[in-house]
Amino acid sequence: MTALRCIISIEAAKQERQKQMKTKIELKVEGMTCSGCVRSVEKKLSTVTGVDSARVDLGAGKATVEYDDSRAQAAQLIAAVEQIGFHASLA
């Protein structure tokens, strides 16, 4: 294998790994009543280590979270939401 092809295959393997580590889940969040609640939940989730993004849909009562599953777990996301007074579970 030439050096260049070797570098290309290393890069491809890295990208593949990054893809695998990014997980997206939906949480059911109960107790939210207004856009203030939505912001609180989004803010709290985004402070959890490993979370890339958190988006809350008030009408659906759901939070969509993208995170690195080597650094965060669903249970931690649920615990974070419960810490600020809402009930969360896997959707």
Q: Contact residues for Cu ion (CB under 5 A)?
A: 33-34, 36-37
Q: Which is nearer to Cu ion, 2 or 33 (CB)?
A: 33
Q: Which residues pair with 64 in a beta bridge?
A: 26, 55
Provide the 3-class DSSP secondary structure of residue 77.
helix
Q: From the CB of 54, what's the least distance to Cu ion, in Å?
A: 16
Q: Which residues contact 19 (CB under 8 A, 6 or more apart)?
A: none
Q: From the CB of 43, what's the least distance to Cu ion, in Å?
A: 13
Amino acid at 74: A
Q: From the CB of 71, what's the least distance to Cu ion, in Å?
A: 29
Q: Which is nearer to Cu ion, 55 or 69 (CB)?
A: 55
Q: Which two tokens stand for residue 5?
A: 């092809």
**Beta carbons of 90 and 28 less than 8 angstroms apart:** yes
Q: Which is nearer to Cu ion, 37 or 84 (CB)?
A: 37
Q: Which is nearer to Cu ion, 36 or 59 (CB)?
A: 36
